Structure 1
Amino acid sequence: MGSYTPKPNDAALELTMPATREFLGGDLLAQSLAALGCKVAFGLHGGHLDAFLIGCDDAKIELIDTRHETVAVQAAEGYAKVTSSVGVCFVTANSGFSNGLPGLATAFADRSPIFCITSSPPLRDAETNCLQGFHDQVVLAKPITKFAHRVTNVEEIPRLVAHAWRTAIAGAPGPVLLDCPIDVLFSPPRMDGIAWGAINRPLPYPPGPAAEAIQEAVELWSQAKRPVIITGTGARGTKFAEDLLKLVETTNTPVFYSPKYGSTVPYGHRLRGGPAVRLALLGTINEQPPDLVILLGARSGFLLGGRNGAILPNTNCKFIHVEVDGSEIGRSHQIDCGIISTSQNFVGSMLSALQEKKVSSSDVWVNTATSLKDLKNQFDDEPEEMSPGRPHPHHAIRKVLQSLPEGAIVCIDGGEAGGWTLQNIEHSRASLVMVTTGYLGFLGNGWGYSLGAAVADRSRLVVNMQGDGSAGFHLAELDTYARFGPKILTVISNNYAWGMSQAGQELIYGEKTPKRQASKLNPRAEYETVAAGLQCASARVDKVSDIPVAVEKLVNSGKPGLLNLIISDKPIHSNTKAMVNAEVGKDWIVIPYYDNIQRPYYKQ
């Protein structure tokens, strides 16, 4: 195996030349990705991609092949979330690409920097009804990516790869796609004609806050008596976490996290507030809401209570919003200080500014805010077993989370199962929590997120929390888990129903309505048997008292594991009741999962 060193004025890469075959476009693609930091790629095989897949071996890129393309794209998304880098995936032409579209859609909505490689028929065969050549993949991908392009010249690969990579992480992150036709990937490049672009140049510096904005933020912070920070997906990274801890300790400010991504403050720290949804409980203990909310890399929207004022107050509260995407600032709430910056640069600038002016909230407020995560739950006093003889979901899921080793990564999927998990999530003592359904409410994402997270951080246990509804989307990925052996424990909260769908119908139409349309699942499904057949460790539990032993056994099995956790479909989760909001008078029209609207009346 040799190498090709470009002439000095090329300012390019030193390429590795295969020892027994010709250097092709697929090699150039793989080595260009490796030069930018790609170490692993998730995907599913297709012959169109073979030149690239073989090239990944020389480029030292590990390939993780899944059982479905959607999962591959979502695994790249999970990988990106944990590493704060770009996640790479590959899907084959047309059929594979079409299966990957849901992953691109969620990555675009949730602003995940992923790089998707696909291929297509030879350029000469356009519009000939050739194999896997019907859809124009670039046209289809453009609405749900930041950048989508077809490579038509093999020598242009490095330049386009570098451009796409930078686009994925610039400003608001998001997915990019390169369509590399099979003839381009299987063609040898003219070595002296390669367009290197910025392939070997450092990535650009991220945006930082204006000096005037920092001074305004300091003033707002110094005037606040009840400030809180809410972190989101944009607030991550090891260096960021260290600096944020300095900032919150300097200002004595409690930190909450959006359910999409949390938390950067260690479990057990006195300033850790827990999930931001807990702020809605201040009124129940007769305490005032925050008078300053600092949204740090977190977007407003339904994950933070929408516009109902429960989490983000509608009155008597100031807002500082730190975002890389200026269009998000003021999208749904009046913002008093909008700052276009990465969370890292904002925190660093604030630490410098606070050397000149002291800002600190009272210990009384800190104790009030952080006590919310420890408040007694309305379900705590209910029996562990519900009719018809199945465990109460609150007690069962809490016991699972309590049984996990500290420092796990927890990926939350499902509807009501996700609600019960998030409600009890602080009991997991997790290092990172991700609600994988995101802004699209996309069930099944947890399978890919968990795989990507487990590959990104192989030292930690990843817990794939599923409902029996969401679990059905990609159950075959247990085979992927078994083949690659990541430290993943899948927990299926099995209540034999699409829980939120069934509960919503009951709330709107009444408990005595005989039919539950399209909301029932198979009570005889043996998920533990499927897992065992796919060579994973597995167990079935239908008593709360048996959970700790089962979890410990699965975690220590040396294999990916699955727990079929049988639970009751009662009671209805309080979040579902709040979202459906069916208990209104006759003057209102119930709009499930959104704000109700007033019934129109017309004078006769």
Structure 2
Amino acid sequence: MGSFTSNAGDAGLKLKMPSSREFLGGDLLAQSLAALGCKVAFGLHGGHLDAFLIGCSDANIDLIDTRHETVAVQAAESYAKVSNKVGVCFVTANSGFSNGIPGLATAFADRSPIFCITSSPPLRDAETNSLQGFHDQVVVAKPITKFAHRVTNVEEIPRIVAHAWRTAIAGAPGPVLLDCPIDVLFSPPQLDRIAWGAINRPLPYGAAADPGAVKEVAQLWSQAKRPAFITGTGARGDSFAANFLKLAEATNTPVFYSPKYGSIIPHGHRLRGGPAVRLALLPTINEQPPDLLILLGARTGFLLGGRGGAVIPNSDCKLIQVDVDGSEIGKSHAVDCGIVSTSQNFVEQMLSASVKSASSDEWVKTASSLKDLNEFDDQPEETSPGRLHPYHAIRKVYQSLPEGSIVIIDGGEAGSWSLQLLELARANLAMVSTGYLGFLGNGWGYALGAAVADPSRLVVSIHGDGSAGFHLAELDTFVRFKLKVLTIVMNNSVWAMSLAGQELIYGEKTPQRQASKLNPAAEYETVAAGLQCASAKVNKVADIPGAVEKLVNSGKPGLLNLIISENPIHPGTKAMLNVNVGKDWIVVPYYDNIPRPYYKT
């Protein structure tokens, strides 16, 4: 293999030239991505992409091929969150692209920097009903990406790749898509006409807080007796975590985390507060809510209790919101100080400002105790013969895991129980994969991306039996790439959150259970064994530690079919439905109820 150095000064790349074949657009695409830091790409094969896929080999980009395109895009999203790099994925023309749309949609909603590559028929064959050429993929992708573009000239590939890459990470991160027609990928570029753009230039610096805003935050902080942080996906990274911990300790401020990403505070630290939804428990122990909340890279919305005031108080609490996206600030809550900045820059500026706080050790003790409040300890382990109480089941699973795992949570009711007890897992990182779309099945891609991004840790992927059914064949992907993934299926044979909603709204004794049943005879452990995973089925709490230990130490990906009951309904589901409001209100499941325009007796 030879090399070619561009004549564009230091703006170009030293290209690797194949020794036994022609250098093509696919090679140029792969080497452009590699120059920007891409080391792995997730996807599913399609002949349209072969020039790129072969080029990845020469560019030292590892390919992780999945069983479904949705999972490939979602894996790129998780890879980005765990590695703090852009996640790269590839899907073939039209059919593959269509399967990848759900992944783009979730990445766009959850602000994940992913770079999606697709292809299309030759440019000359537009509007001819050619193979895999019906939809205009750029038009379809535009509403759910930050940038979507069709490359029509092979020499322009590096310039467009560099632009798309920067777009993915600039400001509020998000997905980008490049449609590279097959004739472009299979065409040899004229090397002296390549447009390099910014392919070999440093990435831009992040936004910083206005000095006036830093002074205002310092003043609000100095007056607060019960301050608290809520961190989100925008607050991550090893270098950030060290500085953030210094700031939290200097101001004696407890730290809670959004379900999307947590937490950067070490386990056992006195300032670790746990999931932010636990703030809603303060009234139950007769304690006051925070009088200052700092949202750091965390977005408001249903994951933080919506607008009801349970998590983010609607009164008597100053709210500071720090986000790279100015349009996100004040979207659903009145904000006393909004700052457009990266979390890293904000923390460094506040450390330099030497912020003083009136926070007491008593407040810290109260706040950090919320993660340990659990009201189901005294309930029986089985709610019916052979079916475990979901609380006790997932509690014992968490207690049996090795410390420092990565926990991925998927599902409805299963997700709620798992989030409630999450602190018991002592995880290095935890993510609720369903995101702002409430997208079930995301956990399969999240587990894959996390396992590839950090192969040193066990990835524990928790599903309800509903979400488990979306992409069960990805167990094969885990096996082929020898990934350390343990899948937990909380199996109650129903779509539990849907069933709970029907029973709460229409009455527990109602005979109708519309579209909410699953097969009680399903043997997920048998499917897993057939795909060469280690597997087990458990319906006794006492058997969980031994089963988890055996699966973790099997040397293979594992699956635990955990037989649980559909009851009790999780308190969070009851709170979301809020059916006991009287006849003057219209119950709107999972949202705020609305008053009736009139009421007749």
* TM-score by shorter chain over 0.5: yes
Answer yes or no: is the 8 Å Cα contact 1:398–1:427 preserved in 2: yes
Task: Report the equivalent of 2:7.
Answer: 7
What is the CA deviation profile of residues 168-210 of structure 1, one whole-angstrom value per residue up to 9, with x for unaligned ones?
A: 0000000000000000000000000000000000000011111
Residue 584 of structure 2 is matched in structure 1 by: 587
SS at match of 1:31: helix
- Aligned residue for 1:3, secondary structure, equals strand
Q: In structure 1, what is the Cα distance between the partners aligned to 2:568 and 2:600?
A: 42
In angstroms, what is the RMSD of aligned CA positions?
Answer: 1.0
Matched letter for residue 29 of structure 1: L
Q: CA deviation at 1:389?
A: 3.4
Q: Which deviations, in whole Å up to 9, do the C-alpha atoms of 1:12-67 show, x marking residues without a partner?
A: 10000111100000000000000000000000000000000000000000000000
Q: For 1:450-475, what per-residue CA distance to the aligned partner results, in whole angstroms no more than 9, with x for missing partners?
A: 10001000101111000000000000
Q: Using the alignment, how far apart are the partners of 1:603 and 1:257 within structure 2?
A: 45
Question: Aligned pair 1:369/2:360, yes or no?
Answer: no
CA distance in 2, matches of 1:505, 1:541: 28
Match of 1:542 in 2: 539
Kindly provide the amino acid, as one letter, of the partner of residue 489 in structure 1. L
Contact 1:155/1:195 (CA < 8 Å) preserved in 2? yes
Aligned position for 2:264: 264
1:498 and 1:520 in contact (8 A); partners too: yes
Q: Deviations over 1:232-253 (max 9, x none)?
A: 0100011011111111011110
**Is contact 2:35–2:199 with CA below 8 Å preserved after alignment?**
yes
Distance 1:603-1:281 versus aligned 2 partners, 3 A rule: closer
1:376-391 equivalences in 2 (<5 Å) = 377-391=374-388
Partner of 1:330: 330
- Once residues 509 and 321 of structure 2 are traced to their aligned partners in structure 1, the CA distance between those partners, rounded to angstroms, is 47
Q: Which amino acid aligns with 2:319?
A: F
Identify which of 497, 516, 521 aligns with 2:513. 516
Aligned to 2:147: 147
CA contact (8 A) 1:412 1:465 kept: yes
- 1:477 and 1:309 map into 2 onto residues whose CA distance is 40
Conserved in 1, the CA contact under 8 Å of 2:405 and 2:428? Answer: yes
Q: Which amino acid aligns with 1:366?
A: V
On the 8 A contact 1:250/1:360 being kept in 2, the answer is: no
> Is the Cα–Cα contact under 8 Å of residues 42 and 72 in structure 2 kept in the other structure?
yes
Cross-structure match for 1:276: 276
| Residue of structure 2 in register with 1:430 after alignment | 427
Name the SS for the 1:540 alignment partner: strand
1:7 Cα offset (Å): 2.2
1:576 aligns with 2:568: no
CA contact (8 A) 2:386 2:540 kept: no
Structure 1 partner of 2:398:
401
Identity %: 80
Q: Which amino acid aligns with 2:435?
A: G
Q: Cα deviation per residue 1:130-179 (whole Å; 9 max; x = unaligned)? A: 00000000000000000000000000000000000000000000000000
The alpha carbon displacement at 1:602 in A equals 6.7
Distance 1:205 1:571 in 2: 50
Q: How does 1:306-321 map to 2 (within 5 A)?
A: 306-321=306-321
Normalised by the size of structure 2, how large is the TM-score? 0.99
Instruction: Summarize deviations over 1:495-520 as a string: whole Å, max 9, x none.
Output: 00000001110000111111200000
Matching of residue 414 in structure 1 with residue 417 in structure 2: no
Residue 507 of structure 1 corresponds to which residue in structure 2?
504
Aligned to 2:562: 565
Is this contact kept in 2: 1:119–1:179, CA < 8 A?
Answer: yes
Secondary structure of the 1:85 match is coil
Runs of 4+ in 1 over 4 A off after TM superposition: none
1:453-464 to structure 2, matched below 5 A, reads: 453-464=450-461
Q: Is the CA contact 2:490–2:563 (under 8 Å) kept in the aligned structure 1?
A: yes
Secondary structure in 1 matching 2:463: strand
Q: C-alpha displacement at 1:84, in angstroms?
A: 1.1
Give the TM-score normalised by the residue count of structure 1.
0.99
Counterparts of 2:385 and 2:508, CA distance in 1: 16
Whole-angstrom distance in 2 between the partners of 1:460 and 1:212: 43
